[in-house]
């Protein structure tokens, strides 16, 4: 699916840990999805119906969230009470249905969204 100048792949049939999800995206010439606007967040929310991994993480510096693809971590859409670093949660997932974000346990196996940036 394309949105703007980027190409998105929704992997809702496979379940992977955050790290192997990222490997899979990178092997495909992409990266885990980064979200930089409310519109893009809405686009990524709609078709999935399950919690999906995205490219955000704070595994380098606790509380220092960044996107794996290097996009500025400016737009945020945290669910109420998050990020809470519950038992050391460092990876970003999008919650079922409402599209809000949760810092999540990187080892959980979830579906995920890859994003390949279009040529500008």
Q: Work out whether 64 is an interface residue with Ca ion (CB under 5 A).
A: no
Of the pair 38, 86, the CB lying nearest Ca ion is at 86
Q: Which of 102, 110, 112, 113 binds Ca ion (CB under 5 A)?
A: 102
Neighbours of 78 (CB within 10 A): 14
What is the helix (H) or strand (E) element at residue 20, kind and residue range? helix 18-27
Q: Work out whether 79 is an interface residue with Ca ion (CB under 5 A).
A: no
Please choose, from the candidates 71, 66, 14, the residue with its C-alpha nearest in 3D space to the C-alpha of residue 40: 71
| The token pair that represents 40 in the structure block | 């893009």
Q: Work out whether 41 is an interface residue with Ca ion (CB under 5 A).
A: no
CB of 105 to Ca ion, least distance (A): 8
């Amino acid at each position: 699916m394309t949105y703007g100048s980027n190409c998105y792949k929704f992997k809702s049939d496979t379940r992977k840990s955050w790290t192997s999800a990222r490997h899979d995206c990178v092997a495909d010439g992409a990266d885990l999805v980064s979200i930089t606007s409310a519109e893009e967040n809405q686009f990524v929310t709609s078709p999935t119906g399950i919690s999906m991994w995205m490219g955000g993480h704070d595994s380098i510096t606790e509380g220092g969230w960044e996107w794996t693809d290097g996009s500025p971590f400016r737009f945020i859409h945290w669910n109420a009470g998050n990020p809470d670093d519950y038992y050391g949660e460092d990876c970003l997932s999008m919650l079922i249905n409402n599209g809000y974000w949760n810092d999540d346990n990187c080892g959980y196996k979830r579906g995920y969204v890859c994003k390949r940036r279009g040529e500008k």
